[in-house]
Each structure stands twice: as structure tokens, then as C-alpha cells.
């Protein structure tokens, strides 16, 4: 088993935890005036879903509303 096979989900090889980076980025963007959303709250099949499936990279409805 190599290092990538042993790697925990959500933990980068350097020991950086993905959720910590995400929370810091959301806080920083919020301070800059951006509206942020917690990913699991807006994932497909949730009441506040902003995409129909995870293959949609651009949140089209949010982008149209901003334009």
C-alpha cells in the first residue's frame, strides 16, 4: 500500500485538512463581501440545492442572479 492509498479522505498529503481550508476561505470571502454557502447545505437533493448534480461546476442560477 502506497502513501496515496493510506491517505485519509479530506486530508492532503502534507497534513492539510480540507475542511479547515474551506472554512478559512469562506470566512475570507465573506469579509470581502461575497455571499458564501456551506457545501452540504446546497448540494443536490437538498431543499436549498443550487445544482442538479455534482458535475455542474458553475452555479448557473446564482451566476444569472448576480448578472
The predicted structure's pLDDT at residue 9: 56
Structure-block grid coordinates of residue 39: 457545501
- The reported pLDDT for the residue numbered 11 is 57
pLDDT of res. 28: 95
9-65 confidence digits (pLDDT tens): 555 667 788 888 989 999 999 999 998 888 888 899 999 899 899 898 888 888 899
Write the burial class of residue 50 (CB in 10 Å: 0-12 exposed, 13-18 middle, 19+ buried).
Answer: middle
- For the chain, the domains span 1-36, 37-67
* pLDDT band (50, 70, 90) for residue 2: very low
- Please check whether residue 22 is in contact with residue 39, taking contact to mean a CB–CB distance below 8 angstroms: yes
Amino acid at each position: 500500500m502506497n502513501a496515496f492509498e493510506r491517505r485519509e479522505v479530506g486530508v492532503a498529503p502534507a497534513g492539510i485538512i480540507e475542511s479547515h481550508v474551506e472554512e478559512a476561505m469562506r470566512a475570507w470571502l465573506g469579509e470581502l463581501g461575497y455571499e458564501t454557502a456551506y457545501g452540504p447545505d446546497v448540494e443536490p437533493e437538498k431543499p436549498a440545492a443550487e445544482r442538479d448534480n455534482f458535475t455542474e461546476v458553475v452555479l448557473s442560477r446564482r451566476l444569472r442572479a448576480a448578472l
